[in-house]
Amino acid sequence: TETGLQPETLPADPAPLAPERDLMSKFDPLIAERQALLDSGVTDPFAIVMDEVRSPTEAVIKGRETILLGTYNYMGMTFDPDVIAAGHAALDQFGSGTNGSRMLNGTFRDHMEVEQALRDFYGVSGAIVFSTGYMANLGMISTLAGKGEYVILDADSHASIYDGCKQGYAEVVRFRHNDVNDLDKRLGRLPKEAGKLVVLEGVYSMLGDVAPLREMVAVAKKHGAMVLSDEAHSMGFYGPNGRGVYEDQGLERDVDFVVGTFSKSVGTVGGFCVSNHPKFEAIRLACRPYIFTASLPPSVVATAAASIRKLMTAEKKRAQLWENARKLHGGLTAMGFRLGTAQCESAIVAVILEDQEQAAAMWQALLDGGLYVNMARPPATPAGTFLLRCSLCAEHTPAQIDRVLGMFEAAGRAVGVLA
């Protein structure tokens, strides 16, 4: 052209503005589903408020005294006087929070003390505390298994294990729930020289079933894989020292990493990983969910340390918890309820219902009668099941379990679950 400008170098018109897309519209099906549930007249099972909590087993919900049978307070430590005193003392001495990462200003005396309590409890050389159990799985899995390596996980793994896989760069391979042969087959297809991490859980939290860890760990070792076991739902009452299912099955020398939480048997909040690996401390240098978040408040780690030390000698509580679980499992089985496991395998007793409608009606009838249990549904549950999940506490009394059984029978008949 005369000016020497090439058409493609001329300034283009600004791109037309696209109409704004409402990113929230993807939640419309969820909103509609919840509304349909509420329209059927039930209380929202996912919006319960504890107005008062009177003990590990009793709360006031909607003005009514309610037995708690759906918390992870397995060992009933939340109101232990020594645990509460430790929290008060730390709050007074160190203030309400740390204002920083463990890597910088956020390591206080009691973070060191709780890690020592964990080393003593598990009889290991290494312990690292995270801000939640969710973050412990997120951090450990994404940091241990890197690019070109493999994470092999049970299909029914907890969301935090799945999310740990997503956060990292390893290839992810799933095997059928608790299926030793499937694990073997899938490991056999992977390159021999590649690093592999098999992630297992001692107790699976939806149905309360226990993993055949001995067989699975043997298969993992045969293929040269390291093993991480999440023992969130077994701490305090499984194995001679309450370390978990892996201890119960004699695998202390074979499981490389154990993940756990303070939010269940310990009775506060926080997560951890313990290990005897000589280089374990290096995790602190590389693990993003450990580094890029604030550490737990001093009162929380102090209560956790006191609780963990008491769990080391909690034989009576352990025995009571198992007695309670067996009593509930046996009673519900005798009434004709369909349960997640044929025998009592853990402190979780899952009642399987037909569908959402039946589960919601039953859940509501129990709540109206003064009993709180967990409503669980897909995608949290396996095989699209609707569950009323009961979790027992060492502090439930035999009389409370009798009342619970009575309430289940009445609700089961009212809703038509029992003939």
Give me the active site residues, please: 205, 233, 264
Name which of 66 and 205 has its Cβ closer to ligand PMP: 205
| Whole-angstrom distance, CA of residue 126 vs CA of residue 110 | 16
- Of positions 57, 205, 307, 374, contacts ligand PMP by CB under 6 A: 205
Q: What's at 40, amino acid-wise? A: S
* Dihedral pair phi/psi, residue 70, rounded to 5°: -145, 45
Q: Which residue is nearest to ligand PMP (CB)?
A: 133
Name which of 158 and 243 has its Cβ closer to ligand PMP: 158
Query: What minimum distance in Å lies between the beta carbon of 205 and ligand PMP?
Result: 4
Residues 134-193, interacting with ligand PMP (CB under 6 A): 134, 137, 158, 160
Q: Which two tokens stand for residue 238?
A: 């499984």
- Of positions 132, 268, 374, 385, contacts ligand PMP by CB under 6 A: 132
Name which of 168 and 331 has its Cβ closer to ligand PMP: 168
Query: What minimum distance in Å lies between the beta carbon of 136 and ligand PMP?
Result: 7
**CA dihedral sign, ordered 322, 325, 329, 334:** positive
98, 106 in Cβ contact below 8 A?
yes
Confirm or reject binding of residue 389 to ligand PMP (CB under 6 A): no
Q: How far is CA 199 from the centre of its chain?
A: 14
Q: Which two tokens stand for residue 122?
A: 């598990």
Site string for ligand PMP, 267-286 (x = CB under 6 A): ----x---------------
Contacts of 173 by beta carbon, 8 Å cutoff, 6+ apart: 150, 151, 152, 153, 186, 190
Query: What minimum distance in Å lies between the beta carbon of 374 and ligand PMP?
Result: 10
328, 390 in Cβ contact below 8 A?
yes
Confirm or reject binding of residue 232 to ligand PMP (CB under 6 A): yes
User: How many residues lie near ligand PMP (CB under 6 A)?
Assistant: 13
| Whole-angstrom distance, CA of residue 45 vs CA of residue 281 | 42
Name which of 132 and 400 has its Cβ closer to ligand PMP: 132
67, 370 in Cβ contact below 8 A?
yes
Name which of 232 and 328 has its Cβ closer to ligand PMP: 232
Q: Please confirm whether the linkage preceding 379 is cis (ω < 30° from 0).
A: yes
Residues found near ligand PMP in the complex (CB under 6 A): 132-134, 137, 158, 160, 201, 205, 230, 232, 261, 263, 271
